[in-house]
Structure formats: structure tokens, C-alpha cells
Amino acid sequence: MNKYGLETRCIHGGYKAERGQAQVPPIVQSTTYRYYSSEDMAKLFNLEIADFMYSRLGNPTVGVFENKMAELEGGTAAIATSSGQSALLITILNICKNGDHIISSSSIYGGSFNLLKVRLNDMGIDVTFVDQNADLEELKKAIKPNTKLIFAETLANPAMTILDFEKFRALADAAQVPLAVDNTLASPYLCNPIKHGADLVLHSTTKWIDGHATAVGGVVVEAGTFDWEAHKDKYPMMVEADDSYHGLKFYETFGNMAFSVKLRAHMLRDFGCTMSPQNAFLSIQGLDTLHLRMERHSENALKVAQFLENHPKVEWVNYPGLEGHESKELCDKYLPKGASGVIAFGVKGGKAEGEKLLEALELASMVVHVGDIRTSVLHPASTTHRQLTEEEQIKSGVRPEMIRLSVGCESFEDIKNDFNKALEAI
Ligand SMILES: *Cc1c(COP(=O)(O)O)cnc(C)c1O
């Protein structure tokens, strides 16, 4: 598939019907798969053959989605999960345990922030949050001997800052650990983090990948670039004989797909955060039109951002595609095809007026979502980032009056008129 452009891979990636087979990947609604010899069964359980055996560990429909994602991100393999949250959780638990340390940008999705700050802390995994705009020397101060992973988002939700990949790659090299990047807000159409040095790429597929607000899901894509053998003191679980698989050595056996095989064999097997075949089907169908939607989302969002910027009742607009935005240079470098569909803005009069605006909108829906084809709005401080203190909210880019707007694929004129009318009403 790599000889084809990204648009072609969105449509044809991951699956090709053989003679007389279904043109569209079928939903294989089966928990289990039949075999005829005990020897085959033993081989399956030893990971000697990679066929399906039980849908917690893998399913043909989910497999098509995983292959398609690996092709779109340019990875060696991908593992689908039940949600974006579980994708991040099992990425971390695959290589970190009690006593380990992670460095994360503080400009991340509220749910991820909570997972890292509260839940991992409860498990004895320590996280240092850094300002991703600090210079490299400053960032390096966060490195500890037990640091195992660096985490950031391509396009931070909802702060709208763009990651300086070059700097974070240098940070990961200095720490000698993998760089994991959440690429949810950009999608594989607008940015491929692997091209810019990421070792692992995560998505909440719930957002742009599904794109129609129908299926919660996540995925982890492996670049196959990290040399686990060279750092086996830090990652013995990737290199040494594994007791739960009769002495299997993941890196030696599976090479540049070792992280993914271990995710499946340990994390999906033991935690069970598996994507369902039905959700995989919907996510595959979403990917079929990803390129068309992202183009329109980005085009509409830029026009809406420009409209809001020039409206007298709007105090500020944060969209990385706008001239003069603090991330504009990084946006041109890493997201040259568009800056995606999310805009953050504040109206004059602060939180109270902002709430009135949301209620005055007719076409745009008040929902806890981004990435839908329908224009969506939300007040993060009282919803997604509600559990954070005001100081933490500000650190993750959420001001009290901020409105998060996910621009849909409707006609620009209709979206503009909706906001114009609502702004006049406040
Ligand atoms: C929504 C989101 C998540 C969490 O994904 P779920 O599918 O809701 O579990 C993680 N990261 C980002 C950037 C998100 O927008």
C-alpha cells in the first residue's frame, strides 16, 4: 500500500477483497475461532502462530482496522483498544511499573492529565509535567534515572499549541526513552508523528477517525524504531525471557513489532480493553473518508476562526492556522495541509456571556465531543477539565471563559450565521 498516496490508503488500506469476497470488510461477530488439532492450539497459546483464537486478543474486523491505521501512520503494527484512555493506559503499563517515571507535557487532554496525575500516581508511577514551550535545556532537567517514557500531543486539546517534534525527539534521545505522541486532534491525514521522530503514536479514534460520533475507541501505532536491546536495563520486559509465555523474548522474536505483540499478549490479554468488531467496522468506515473530512474541517475552521477574530464581541481566538498565532510556525512545519477543526475562543464578558452564547446557538450542538461532522461546542472549565484546579486548568491551557468549538462539515455560511446570530443575542 505504501506506493499509494494517503488519500488512496484511507480508502483501500488494511483490506483487499479476494475473488467473490465481500467488497467491504465484514463484521466478524464471533468471540472465538475453531481449530482441529491440539498442536495448533498449543502453538496459538505460545504465540508461535498469529491466527485468531479469542476476540479479546484479536478479531478479523478489528485486525483490518489495525492494519489500516498502521498503513496510515507509517508504523510497523497497530493495536486497537476500547477507548483513547485505554490506549494511553496500556501504552504506559506495557513498559512502566511501580517506581518508574514519565515526563509529560502539561498541555494535554483533561482525561489524560487526570489519568497521569491521579491514577498512575496511585499505582506508584511518578509523572513530571513540563511546559512544552520551554527550551530543551530546561526540559532536560525533568529527566531522572528511572524515566521510561515521554508523552505529548501533536495538537494539544484544547490549548491548541503544536508540539515541537524536533525538540521532543532531542529530549527523548537525551533521556534514552521512547517518545509517545497523541495524534488525535491532527489525525493521520494532517500529520504523521512517526515522520517527525515519534516511536509510538496514539489516537482516540472516537474523534476524527470515526468522525460521525458513533464509536468510542483507541489505537496505538508502533514505529518500530526504538532499540529495546540497547536499553535492556531500563526495559527488561521487552528483552528478557517472559514467564507468562514460557520464556518467550519479545524483542528477539518480534523485532520492530515487539511493543505491539506485547501489548496484545499482555495488556489486551490481562486488562481486556479490547475494541469490539462493530466499533472497528464503524472506525474503518470513518477512515474511508478521513482525507475528505479533514480537508473540509480545516478549511471551515480557518474561515470560522477568521470570522470570530474580527467580531467585536469576541475577546480572543486561539487557532494555530491564524496568522500571528504562537504556534503558526510549527503549524506550517508540521501541519501544512491544515490546522484541523478545533478552535478555542473567549467572548467579552467572560464565563457568564460564554454560557449564554452556547445556549443561543441553534445549529452548533452543545456536546462533549470534538471531531464530529456536526459543529460542536463545549465549555471545558465546567466539563472536561472540571476535576482540575483552576491553576491546573490554566497550565493545561484552559481559561475560565474558554469555549471549545469543533467545526463540522456543514456549509461555512450556515455555521457563520449561527455564531453571528448567537453573538448578537448576548
Ligand atoms: C478524547 C481524547 C482522549 C480520550 O479518548 P476516549 O476515546 O474518549 O477515551 C485522549 N486524547 C485526546 C487528545 C482526546 O481528544
Q: Does residue 266 belong to any structural domain of this protein? A: yes
Q: Kindly report, residue by residue over 61-106, the tens digit of the pLDDT.
A: 999 999 999 999 999 999 999 999 999 999 999 999 999 999 999 9
Q: Is the pLDDT of residue 1 over 80?
A: no
Full domain range(s) for residue 322: 292-424
Q: Which among 184, 200, 274, 279 is the best mutation to test ligand 1's pocket, defined by most ligand atoms within 8 Å of the CB?
A: 184
CA of 185 relative to ligand 1 center, distance in Å: 9
Question: Do 100 and 122 share a structural domain?
Answer: yes
Strand 403-406 relative to strand 376-378, pairing: antiparallel
Q: Which three cell numbers stand for residue 229?
A: 536491546
For 391, the enclosing helix (H) or strand (E) is helix 390-395
Q: Does residue 383 belong to any structural domain of this protein? A: yes
Q: Residue 343: what pLDDT?
A: 97
Query: What percent of the chain lies above the pLDDT cut of 70?
Result: 100
Angle, alpha carbons 10-16-20 (nearest 5°) = 140
CA of 109 relative to ligand 1 center, distance in Å: 7
The mean-pLDDT minimum among 39-48, 297-306, 411-420 falls in: 39-48
CA of 186 relative to ligand 1 center, distance in Å: 12
DSSP 213-240: S----EEEEE-S---TGGGTTT-HHHHS
Kindly calculate the radius of gyration of the chain based on its CA atoms and give it in whole angstroms. 22
- Residue finishing a domain among 271, 286, 301: 286
Please tell me the distance from the alpha carbon of residue 184 to that of residue 169, in angstroms, as a whole number.
19
CA of 111 relative to ligand 1 center, distance in Å: 7
Question: Do 376 and 332 share a structural domain?
Answer: yes
Residue 336: band (very low, low, confident or very high) from pLDDT cuts 50, 70, 90: very high
Ligand 1 atom nearest residue 206's Cα:
7
Angle, alpha carbons 127-112-91 (nearest 5°) = 75
Question: Do 221 and 102 share a structural domain?
Answer: yes
Which residues lie with the beta carbon below 6 Å from any ligand 1 atom?
83-85, 109, 111-112, 153, 157, 182, 184-185, 204, 206-207, 216, 218
Question: Do 203 and 69 share a structural domain?
Answer: yes
Highest mean pLDDT among 46-60, 218-232, 350-364, 387-401: 218-232
Question: Do 367 and 301 share a structural domain?
Answer: yes
Looking up residue 313, the CATH number of its domain turns out to be 3.90.1150.10
Query: Between 43 and 173, where is the model more confident?
Result: 173
Helix axes 277-288, 60-73, angle to 10 degrees: 40
Neighbours of 312 (CB within 10 A): 6
Question: Do 99 and 47 share a structural domain?
Answer: yes
Provide mean pLDDT across the span 257-278: 97
Looking at ligand 1, which residue's alpha carbon is closest to its atom 2? 204
Q: Residue 420: what pLDDT?
A: 97
Q: Which among 206, 275, 376, 398 is the best mutation to test ligand 1's pocket, defined by most ligand atoms within 8 Å of the CB?
A: 206
Angle, alpha carbons 244-75-31 (nearest 5°) = 50
Helices then strands (H, E): number in the chain? 19, 12
**DSSP label at residue 30:** -
CA of 378 relative to ligand 1 center, distance in Å: 15
CA of 218 relative to ligand 1 center, distance in Å: 8
CA of 108 relative to ligand 1 center, distance in Å: 10
Question: Do 279 and 301 share a structural domain?
Answer: no
Looking at ligand 1, which residue's alpha carbon is closest to its atom 12? 109
- Residue finishing a domain among 286, 307, 326: 286
Q: Which among 183, 204, 205 is the best mutation to test ligand 1's pocket, defined by most ligand atoms within 8 Å of the CB?
A: 204
Q: Does residue 84 belong to any structural domain of this protein? A: yes
Residue 381: band (very low, low, confident or very high) from pLDDT cuts 50, 70, 90: confident
217 within 8 A of 83, measured Cβ to Cβ? yes
Q: Does residue 173 belong to any structural domain of this protein? A: yes
Q: Is the pLDDT of residue 20 over 90?
A: yes
Please tell me the distance from the alpha carbon of residue 306 to that of residue 169, in angstroms, as a whole number.
33
Q: Residue 190: what pLDDT?
A: 98
Strand 126-130 relative to strand 101-105, pairing: parallel
Nearest CA-CA partner of 184 in 88, 257, 260? 88
Q: Residue 242: what pLDDT?
A: 94
Q: Does residue 272 belong to any structural domain of this protein? A: yes
CA of 160 relative to ligand 1 center, distance in Å: 15
Number of domains in the chain: 2
Looking at ligand 1, which residue's alpha carbon is closest to its atom 8? 84
Looking up residue 11, the CATH number of its domain turns out to be 3.40.640.10
Q: Does residue 43 belong to any structural domain of this protein? A: yes
Cβ-based burial of 16 (10 A; exposed 0-12, middle 13-18, buried ≥19): exposed
Question: Do 344 and 204 share a structural domain?
Answer: no
Question: Do 280 and 348 share a structural domain?
Answer: no
Q: Which three cell numbers stand for residue 340?
A: 484541523
Question: Do 299 and 266 share a structural domain?
Answer: no
199 within 8 A of 227, measured Cβ to Cβ? no
Question: Do 299 and 282 share a structural domain?
Answer: no
Q: Which three cell numbers stand for residue 52?
A: 485468531
Q: Residue 45: what pLDDT?
A: 85
375 within 8 A of 195, measured Cβ to Cβ? no
Q: Kindly report, residue by residue over 110-137, the tens digit of the pLDDT.
A: 899 999 999 999 999 999 999 999 999 9
Question: Do 397 and 413 share a structural domain?
Answer: yes
**DSSP label at residue 341:** S
Q: Does residue 54 belong to any structural domain of this protein? A: yes
Strand 365-366 relative to strand 218-222, pairing: unpaired
Q: Residue 110: what pLDDT?
A: 86
What is the Cβ-side half-sphere exposure of residue 75, based on CA atoms within 13 angstroms? 31
- Residue finishing a domain among 286, 315, 348: 286
Q: Does residue 1 belong to any structural domain of this protein? A: no
Q: Residue 291: what pLDDT?
A: 98
DSSP 104-156: EESSS-HHHHHIIIIIHHHTT-EEEEE-TTS-HHHHHTT--TTEEEEEEESB-
